[in-house]
Amino acid sequence: MKPDVHIAMSMDDGSLATLAFKTEGRSPTLPNGATWLPNGNWHRPATTENIEDELNKAFPGLNTRGVKRPKVVSWRIISVSELPFDRSYRNAWEDKAGMIVHNIEKAKELHRERIRRRRRDRLIQLDVDYQRADERNDAQLKQGIVAAKQRLRDATTAPEIENAQTIAQLKAAWPPDLER
């Protein structure tokens, strides 16, 4: 099989999507713009017309339940080497001046959401621990639990997150009270 052609698509919601456009494959039906090969596979060149036809099928504007989906605003063929190696903040990628880069503000919000998801179970456990400490009238333990809960609540507003300028700095701004 021939290698796929990779496409970077800027969407109308500001996100970036990527697509591997198949230039050769095997299926019972022939894709638009393709021809059958003697080995039973099909081949289609990565022309503008064929790529746009595939994008219109992949991103029709509505999903199967009639809910609006992002639409492709622009696209370009890319090399896989253009994609950032670190995919941790993949939903913060943008195509700027022909380069795929992280939008650090979007990455910060993704980071905060990760913290919120991770701290949820820890906060529930701390609530249980607090009730047990209350049953034992252990004021010192209750104070420690209250402090731990407040650190978790404050984790999303940490200055290290707001001041981060790179993905590495953002990753380093993880609350010590939470496992990764």
Q: Are 37 and 43 in contact (CB under 8 A)?
A: yes
CA count, 13 A, side-chain hemisphere, 102: 22
Q: Which of 127, 125, 115, 180 is closest to 153 using CA atoms? A: 115
- The Cα–Cα gap between 55 and 171 comes to 33
Backbone angles phi, psi at 21, to 5 degrees: -85, 115
pLDDT, residue 1, reads 57
In contact, 46 and 75? CB cutoff 8 Å: no
> pTM of the entire structure?
0.79
Sorted by where each begins, the domain ranges of the chain are 5-83, 105-172
| Phi and psi angles of residue 43, each rounded to the nearest 5 degrees, phi first | -135, 140
The one-digit pLDDT tens for each residue of the chain (180 residues) are 567 899 999 998 888 999 999 999 999 999 999 999 999 999 999 999 999 999 888 887 666 677 777 888 999 999 999 998 888 999 999 999 889 999 999 999 999 999 999 999 999 999 999 999 999 999 999 999 999 999 999 999 999 999 999 999 999 999 988 887
CA dihedral over 109, 110, 114, 117, signed as positive or negative: positive
Q: What is the DSSP letter of 155?
A: G
Integer Cα distance of 78 and 60 in angstroms? 22
pLDDT at residue number 59: 80
